[in-house]
């Protein structure tokens, strides 16, 4: 406010993201007020990370700077052809007071895979890690202290060349936002209801289902709207070819738990997003000695198994909510309840174990936590 910007200084670590402190950050009392009940994705911190890419210069001009509206040419290709990818991960406050990211290397690699699919430049893993770590260090005061709170990080990349021809952009912007979030489901992990979409599909073979791109979400919204209209919380998609095999929710993977103790999840055949939470649960389950199948599961089998009692639990999983129990499933002419309709034992155990590792309450034998600061 009338003050010249402070000269850039460096937060520590490799000199890639220059730190330009916000000239007028949100005052402490106002920040505390926003952190009382932050909800999800509404409370943003003072700063953001930004990095540019051009054909001539490659990755350059990295900064941690104040979060301000972007000025962009209305012809920027992302606004017309949706060349955009993103990631989602969380920084947690550990039991011992430290800060840690959960498996950020996996997010870095997935962003590279998404970039390849969308014909975008790959961001080197060390730049990804540095961008999120430096931003979290700058924003540590925005970490909520409430139970279940965390700092949600949203790295994303957009095509920024001003050109209406259809081709991969020659310029890109990579950015990271940080958002203070509470527990995803207010009042604890309530079992959700799912609407099975028989009309709309999310991803087809050869399409972008395995890439984390905004376009996948844009096409899922109408199905999610229908789910709400039908009195359900979330939509679950079937495969595009046979309209039979259960794939995933709009933004979460899905698991099935059987009465013999085995668990099953759809295989990664290219139409399903390879969730890091999904991968972590598979690891925990295998190390518990459970029988684990990554195999297709048909909607009619789900109905039959729920009715016979062979299927005892189902849950969805993803970074935002970690593990979400599924209580009821509905389609155009059917409806069924999973188990008792409430959170099952196996679902609760995975939620507890994963949350405990993420928050440093139990040992992390897999090296999933990356401490920062
Ligand atoms: C991000 C995402 C997931 C969950 O991935 P995590 O790495 O576990 O957060 C699942 N499905 C879709 C479609 C997603 O975009």
- List the one residue out of 6, 28, 8 whose CA is nearest residue 19: 8
Q: Is the CB of 252 under 6 A from ligand 1?
A: yes
Q: In 10 A of CB 25, how many CB atoms? A: 17
pLDDT at 10 over 50: no
pLDDT at 236 over 60: yes
Confidence of residue 185 (pLDDT cuts 50, 70, 90): low
The CA distance from 292 to 187, in Å, is 31
pLDDT per position as a tens digit, 50-67: 999 999 999 999 999 999
Query: Is the residue at 9 inside a domain?
Result: no
- 159 and 264, same domain (yes or no): no
- 247 and 275, same domain (yes or no): yes
Burial class of residue 124, CB neighbours in 10 A (0-12, 13-18, 19+): middle
Q: What are residue 99's DSSP bridge partners?
A: 93, 372
Ligand 1 pocket test, pick from 202, 212, 355 with the greatest ligand atom count within 8 Å of Cβ, gives 212
pLDDT at 147 over 90: no
- 196 and 343, same domain (yes or no): yes
The per-residue pLDDT for 197 is 98
Of 121, 156, 181, the last residue of a domain is 181
pLDDT at 7 over 80: no
Q: Is the CB of 104 under 6 A from ligand 1?
A: no
CA of 277 to the centre of ligand 1 (A): 8
User: Which contacts of 25-30 are long-range, i.e. CB under 8 A and separated by 24 or more positions?
Assistant: 28/141
Q: What is the CATH number of the domain that holds 173?
A: 3.30.470.10
The CA distance from 186 to 327, in Å, is 17
Residue whose tokens read 């890419």: 53
CB 354 within 8 A of CB 280: yes
Q: Which helix (H) or strand (E) holds 28?
A: helix 28-35
Query: Is the residue at 6 inside a domain?
Result: no
Query: Is the residue at 5 inside a domain?
Result: no
Structure tokens at 212: 């984390």
pLDDT at 288 over 60: yes
Of 181, 203, 226, the last residue of a domain is 181
Query: Is the residue at 364 inside a domain?
Result: no
User: Is 346 in a helix, a strand, or coil?
Assistant: helix
What percent of the chain has a predicted confidence (pLDDT) above 90?
A: 92
Burial class of residue 260, CB neighbours in 10 A (0-12, 13-18, 19+): exposed
- 325 and 216, same domain (yes or no): yes
Q: Is the CB of 21 under 6 A from ligand 1?
A: no
- 165 and 216, same domain (yes or no): no
Structure tokens at 140: 């540590």
Q: What angle do CA 205, 263, 201 make, to 5 degrees?
A: 25
With both helix axes pointing from N to C terminus, report the angle between 276-287 and 104-117 in degrees, rounded to the nearest 10. 130
Confidence of residue 230 (pLDDT cuts 50, 70, 90): very high
Q: What average pLDDT does the chain have?
A: 94
Number of folded domains in the chain?
2
- 62 and 134, same domain (yes or no): yes
Instruction: Name which residue sits closest to atom 6 of ligand 1, judged by CA.
Output: 275
Query: Is the residue at 228 inside a domain?
Result: yes
pLDDT per position as a tens digit, 201-218: 999 999 999 999 999 999
CA of 15 to the centre of ligand 1 (A): 31
Confidence of residue 2 (pLDDT cuts 50, 70, 90): very low
Q: What is the CATH number of the domain that holds 335?
A: 3.20.10.10
- 262 and 287, same domain (yes or no): yes
What percent of the chain has a predicted confidence (pLDDT) above 70?
A: 95
Q: Is the CB of 275 under 6 A from ligand 1?
A: yes
Confidence of residue 11 (pLDDT cuts 50, 70, 90): very low
Q: Is the CB of 90 under 6 A from ligand 1?
A: no
Query: Is the residue at 12 inside a domain?
Result: no
Query: Is the residue at 274 inside a domain?
Result: yes
pLDDT per position as a tens digit, 124-142: 999 999 999 999 999 999 9
- 196 and 128, same domain (yes or no): no
Burial 39-51 (b: 16+ CB within 10 A, else e): ebeebbbbbbbbb
Confidence of residue 13 (pLDDT cuts 50, 70, 90): very low
- 101 and 228, same domain (yes or no): no
Query: Is the residue at 1 inside a domain?
Result: no
Burial 160-178 (b: 16+ CB within 10 A, else e): bbebeeeeebebbbbbbbb
- 301 and 158, same domain (yes or no): no
CA of 280 to the centre of ligand 1 (A): 12
- List the one residue out of 177, 36, 155, 6 whose CA is nearest residue 84: 155
Q: What angle do CA 85, 90, 94 make, to 5 degrees?
A: 165
- 170 and 217, same domain (yes or no): no
CA of 270 to the centre of ligand 1 (A): 13
Domain that holds residue 152: 18-181
Instruction: Name which residue sits closest to atom 10 of ligand 1, judged by CA.
Output: 252
3-state secondary structure 261-314: CCEEECCCCCCCCCCHHHHHHHHHHHHCCCCEEECCCEHHHHHHHHHHCCEEEE
- 166 and 115, same domain (yes or no): yes
pLDDT per position as a tens digit, 63-116: 999 999 999 999 999 999 999 999 999 999 999 999 999 999 999 999 999 999
Tell me the average pLDDT across 20-24: 97
Tell me the average pLDDT across 219-226: 97
Structure tokens at 142: 């925005």
Of 181, 216, 247, the last residue of a domain is 181
Instruction: Name which residue sits closest to atom 5 of ligand 1, judged by CA.
Output: 275
pLDDT at 318 over 70: yes
């Amino acid at each position: 406010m009338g003050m010249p910007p402070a000269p850039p200084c460096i937060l520590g670590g490799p000199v890639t993201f220059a730190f330009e402190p916000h000239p007028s950050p949100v005052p402490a009392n106002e920040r505390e007020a926003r952190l009382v009940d932050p909800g999800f994705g509404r409370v943003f911190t003072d700063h953001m990370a930004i990095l540019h890419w051009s054909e001539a210069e490659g990755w350059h001009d990295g900064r941690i700077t104040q979060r301000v509206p972007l000025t962009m040419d209305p012809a920027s290709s992302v606004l017309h052809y949706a060349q955009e990818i993103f990631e989602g991960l969380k920084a947690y406050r550990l039991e011992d007071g430290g800060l840690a990211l959960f498996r950020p290397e996996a997010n870095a690699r997935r962003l590279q895979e998404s970039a390849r699919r969308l014909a975008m430049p790959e961001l080197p893993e060390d730049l990804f890690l540095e961008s999120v770590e430096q931003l979290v260090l700058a924003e540590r005061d925005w970490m909520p202290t409430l139970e279940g709170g965390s700092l949600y990080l949203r790295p994303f990349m957009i095509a920024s060349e001003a050109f209406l021809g259809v081709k991969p952009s020659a310029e890109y912007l990579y950015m990271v936002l940080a958002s203070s979030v509470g527990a995803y489901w207010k009042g604890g992990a309530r079992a959700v209801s799912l609407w099975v979409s028989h009309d709309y599909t999310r991803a087809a073979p050869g399409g972008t289902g395995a890439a984390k791109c905004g376009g996948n979400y844009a096409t899922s919204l109408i199905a999610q709207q229908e789910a709400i209209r039908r009195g359900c919380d979330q939509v679950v998609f079937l495969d595009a070819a046979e309209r039979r095999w259960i794939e995933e929710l709009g933004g979460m993977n899905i698991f099935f738990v059987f009465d013999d103790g085995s668990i099953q999840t759809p295989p990664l055949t290219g139409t399903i997003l390879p969730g890091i939470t999904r991968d972590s649960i598979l690891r925990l389950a295998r190390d518990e000695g459970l029988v684990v199948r990554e195999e297709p599961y048909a909607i009619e089998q789900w109905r039959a198994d729920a009715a016979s009692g062979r299927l005892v639990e189902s849950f969805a999983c993803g970074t935002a909510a970690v593990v979400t129990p599924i209580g009821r499933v509905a389609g155009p002419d059917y409806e069924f309840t999973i188990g008792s309709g409430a959170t099952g034992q196996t679902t609760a155990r995975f939620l507890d174990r994963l949350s405990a590792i993420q928050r440093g309450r139990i040992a992390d034998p897999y090296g999933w936590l990356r401490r920062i600061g």
